[in-house]
A and B are shown apart, each in its own frame.
Chain A
């Protein structure tokens, strides 16, 4: 199957700083990428959908100015958490879909801890 990577796998930052998380499709071109957030003991919640070269579509309740998504190429999408606060601490997971596949491929996740 196709492989999706995320970097970093974990990050600790101070409150008020910004953090960038990368999501890469390693062996296929991802026309669509998704960003999810998962709090402890909870299920995944979709944050936004991004298509290469266009603006991301955010789910209701997700602040687009706080969670900046860039999908500049068919293999890379980035999520930037701006002015992070402790309540933003979570497990952030991306997924990607390519033309040749019917399923989504998920990255291993990035654990963000904001102090």
Chain B
């Protein structure tokens, strides 16, 4: 399985943008890039996913490098509620496949 590499932790100030990087140099042509996040003591929640083009939704934006070997999750204006572990996961466009969670990036928001 293609793997992803993320920094273990990051800090950001409240109300500032946050850029969370993910490297996936062995990504295949059919792999989608999924982002989930897990708030403390909760189950993960879906954030965003994409294939080649940049994607935007109400939670975040996903910027995908042209060679698809890396991507960046962008939180435009971080709040304290965004403090979580963010997971970058490769998979298909179908939700019925098993997800392989790496260690993720623990994001701390500084008030």
Min distance, Cβ B26 to any Cβ of chain A, angstroms: 19
Complex alpha-carbon distance, A34 and B98, angstroms? 7
Residue tally, chain A, CB below 8 Å to B: 28
Closest to A43 in B: B101
A interface list, Cβ under 8 A from B: 1, 4, 6, 31-32, 34, 36, 43-46, 49, 91, 93-95, 97-98, 101-109, 111
| Contact residues of B between 1 and 51, Cβ < 8 Å to A | 34, 36, 38, 41-46, 49
Cβ contact within 8 Å between A97 and B95: yes
Given contacts A1-B46, A43-B104, contact A104 B99 (CB under 8 A): yes
Given contacts A43-B104, A102-B49, A103-B34, contact A49 B43 (CB under 8 A): no
Secondary structure of the A side of the interface?
strand
Cβ contact within 8 Å between A109 and B104: no
Residue B53, interface by CB 8 Å: no
Cβ contact within 8 Å between B96 and A109: no
11 contacting pairs across A/B (C-beta < 8 A): A1-B46, A4-B43, A6-B43, A34-B98, A44-B44, A44-B99, A46-B99, A101-B95, A102-B93, A102-B94, A103-B34
Residue from the set A4, A6, A46, A104 with the largest chain B CB neighbour count within 10 Å: A104
B interface list, Cβ under 8 A from A: 34, 36, 38, 41-46, 49, 87, 93-96, 98-104
Secondary structure of the B side of the interface?
loop
What chain B residues lie within 8 Å of A101 (beta carbons)? 95
Cβ contact within 8 Å between B96 and A93: no
Complex alpha-carbon distance, A114 and B46, angstroms? 30
Closest to B92 in A: A102
What chain B residues lie within 8 Å of A106 (beta carbons)? 36, 43-45
Cβ contact within 8 Å between A31 and B44: no
Given contacts A31-B96, A93-B43, A109-B43, contact A43 B103 (CB under 8 A): yes
Partner of A105 from B41, B46, B49, B100 at Cβ < 8 Å: B46
